[in-house]
Amino acid sequence: MRNINSVKQEFLKKWIWCLRKYSSQKKNMSLLERKKAIKLSADLAMASTRNKTTRWSKALIANASKNSSNKVLTAHVPGSSPPQRVRKSSTNYSHSTRIRSCRRNRAVYRPRDRVVASFIAKKLVQKRTRRLKSLLPGGEFMDDASLVEETLDYVQSLRAQVEVMRCLVTASELMILNPS
Amino acid sequence: MLHCANASGNLAGDMTVLERQRARMKWQEEQGYFSGFNAVFSSSSSSSLHVQDSLMLAADSGCALGEVVAQAQAQAQTRSMNKPSLAGFDSSSSISRTFSCPPALVEPEPRPRPTDSSFGKECLKKRKPDKLHNAKFVTENDTKDKRIKVGADDEQSKITGSPKSNTKTNSNKREAWADTSNSKQNSKPSEVQNQKPDYIHVRARRGQATDSHSLAERVRREKISERMKYLQDLVPGCNKITGKAGMLDEIINYVQSLQRQVEFLSMKLAAVNPRLEFSVDDLFEKEVFPTSAANFPNIGMSSDLTNSAYLQFNSPQQMVSYGGLDTGINPPCMGLKRSISAHVSMPETYHHSSCFTQMLPSSAWEGDFQNLCNLDFDQVRATSFPSHLSSGLVEAGNHLKMEM
């Protein structure tokens, strides 16, 4: 990953740009609408900061562009990709599952208690992997290897996002603190 | 015949270069049988690896050298016995020799091998075409390799062929061979080196599949665990946990907490800002600065400085165009320092600008500033105004840094 400061800076820039775009589309939003807009624009900004290099960012943009109301925004985001590309990776996933099922069959020939223990361990890991997949945008189309990789990237960018947002929140809170 | 002459020379106990090589191979094979350095045979064509291996083995070895020599000689004996009947065809000779070799190996080894050897024979029957291909492959490789004299080339190919077929006498050897032959077929010599640690790891799982799929699996798993290590460093409180499931738990929790934080922060922002006015730059350029400039004519050059710095800060597009973040943050600090001497209201402007204020009536700024100082620094009960100012400046600087 690049220098974290430059990432944050780019994120802030894109975020504010997105927000302006969004607010120019709609006036007089309710609180929830505003929140949604803020979150969406922050996510999109983060995704476009990690431009085209990661799958989660692609999936995020693709998901956002599915929603027709967001079209205006996603059309302008650089690096927005068609959802076909995500679907292509789903074939990889099915392939890997086939391999995995093969392995499980082979484990039957081992001694019994070992089979049970390893089976349980594998189950636990699988369950958690599935949960992690559901957490990551576009995670359901990833295989295990890329899942870990993408998680690494995603966590890093989420951290940057949170830091920038927190700064903005404190700034606007201070603004409220000393009102006119 | 060259082979016969050679073999007889060996029988006499004369250790030529070739024989030493053979002994080493044999030794490596034995060692490999015990400790799992099976990759030796794949890499026997590349001399550098070979040397490396032998060094490693030498470090590892608990085996007496004399025993090794004896084993090598025993093997040489069997080979010389077989040779007359086998002269003529290269690739098949190494194959047919494999049937004679296991019994020869039984003698020097303390291990019970009968079951292994019988198993190996069964496997040989199954794998015959495969092996034929491999034997050819080895010969090819060795002829390409120029580390041995030309006259001894043929002999060398046979030597590498025969230990190789010996490896098939047990299942682990077979696995190793499959490993290495696969990596060879992929024509990635560096892969052999990469697979080495893998390889030892693999040996623990006895009787697992050796096809390319499971090899790929192994590589993949290696990659995953490597990435997991990075993740462990990244996720706080994860480095104490061992086990993949626990780690995954921790990672999931962390990701979830981050996502929730984003939710929460966006909610907060939405609550704080009634009309999404983060597009502060135009607002500020129009409203705040003209008034400040008008109200405080004695600001002078410091106002210019802060103006530019301010623009840098508030319009991200410009910020980016100016280069790094640090360049964006340094001018404001400079401006702040200079404005200490210039005028009271300067830091106040600063503070407000960093906080994305809406338009304020400029007459109320002084009071606001004092209020703010009192609010933020109750503990700094300063008597004189300048001390207030300086504390306010520090505060403003802090905010600036925090925001970046």
**Contacts made by residues A89-93, CB under 8 angstroms, sequence distance 24+:** A89/A55, A89/A141, A89/A142, A90/A141, A92/A141, A92/A143, A93/A140, A93/A141, A93/A142, A93/A143
Tens digits of residue pLDDT in B188-238:
444 444 444 545 455 445 666 667 787 788 888 888 888 888 888 888 887
- Quote the CA–CA distance of A136 and B252 in Å, as a whole number: 10
Tens place of pLDDT per residue across chain A (180 aa): 557 788 888 888 888 887 777 777 766 777 888 888 888 888 888 888 877 678 888 888 888 877 755 555 555 554 444 444 434 444 444 444 444 544 555 555 556 777 888 888 888 888 888 888 888 888 888 887 788 888 888 888 888 888 888 888 888 888 777 765
Instruction: Report the C-alpha gap between A52 and B391 in whole angstroms.
Output: 46
Task: For residue B321, list chain A residues with Cβ-Cβ distance below 8 A.
Answer: none
Q: Residue B316: which residues within 8 A CB-CB, separation 6 or more?
A: A9, A12, A13, A16, A17, B281
Q: How far apart are CA B173 and CA B386, in angstroms?
A: 83
Q: Check residue B209 and give its pLDDT.
A: 63
List the one residue out of B93, B99, B103 whose CA is nearest residue B121.
B99
Is B325 touching A (CB cutoff 8 A)?
Answer: yes
Residues of A in contact with B404 (CB under 8 A): 5, 8-9, 167
Of A22, A42, A144, the CB nearest to B224: A144
Identity of the amino acid at A7 = V
Q: Which two tokens stand for residue B223?
A: 């990659």
Contact residues, B window 39-78, toward A, CB-based 8 Å cutoff? none
Predicted ipTM? Answer: 0.75
Q: pLDDT tier at B25 (50, 70, 90 boundaries)?
A: low
Q: Nearest chain B Cα to A151, which residue?
A: B231
Identify the top-confidence range among B111-115, B165-169, B264-268, B301-305: B264-268
Which of B225, B247, B262, B330 to substitute to test the interface with A, most A CBs within 10 Å?
B262
pLDDT at A70: 57
For the stretch B250-284, pLDDT in tens is 888 899 999 998 888 888 888 877 765 554 543 33
Separation between Cα atoms, residue B80 and residue B322, nearest integer Å: 80
Regarding predicted confidence, which is higher, A151 or B175?
A: A151
Distance CA B219, CA B201 (A): 11
Nearest chain B residue to A165 by CA distance is: B265
Inter-chain touch A172–B404, beta carbons under 8 Å = no
Rounded Cα distance between B402 and B310, Å, is 15
Helix or strand holding residue B215 (H, E): helix B212-234
pLDDT on residue B26:
62
**How far is A159 from chain B, CA to nearest CA, in Å?**
7
Give the model's pLDDT for residue B247.
Answer: 85
Could you tell me what percent of chain B has a pLDDT over 70? 16
Instruction: Mutation target for B interface from A60, A144, A166: give the one with most B CBs within 10 A.
Output: A166
Q: How many CA atoms lie within 13 A of B348 on its CB side?
A: 26
* Closest CB from A32, A42, A135 relative to B252: A135
**Three-state SS for B397?**
helix
Instruction: Find where tokens 């958690």 sit.
Output: A128
According to the CATH classification, is domain B212-276 in 3.30.43?
no
All residues at 6 or more sequence positions from B218 whose CB lies less than 8 Å from its CB, including other chains: B198, B201, B202
Angstrom distance (rounded) from CA A161 to CA B53? 49
Upper half-sphere CA count for residue A18 (Cβ side, 13 Å): 30
Give CA–CA dist B309/B143, Å, rounded.
72
* Chain A residues in contact with B330 (beta carbon < 8 A): none
Distance from CA of A82 to the nearest CA of B (A): 25
How many CB atoms are closer than 10 A to CB B111?
Answer: 11
| CA nearest neighbour of B262 among A45, A85, A96 | A45
Does residue B332 or residue A131 have the better pLDDT?
A131
Give the pair of three-digit tokens for residue B284. Answer: 């500020």
pLDDT (0 to 100) of residue B168: 40
Q: Are residues A175 and B317, on separate chains, in Cβ contact within 8 Å?
A: no
Question: Would you tell me how many other CB atoms lie within 10 Å of the CB of residue B25?
Answer: 24
Cβ neighbours of residue A86 under 8 Å, at least 6 residues apart?
A: A55, A58, A59, A62, A138, A141
Chain A nearest CA to B386, separation (Å): 21
Question: CB-based contact (8 Å) between B316 and chain A?
Answer: yes
**Residue B390 reports pLDDT greater than 70:** no
B260 part of contact set with chain A, CB < 8 Å: no
The pLDDT assigned to B18 comes to 53
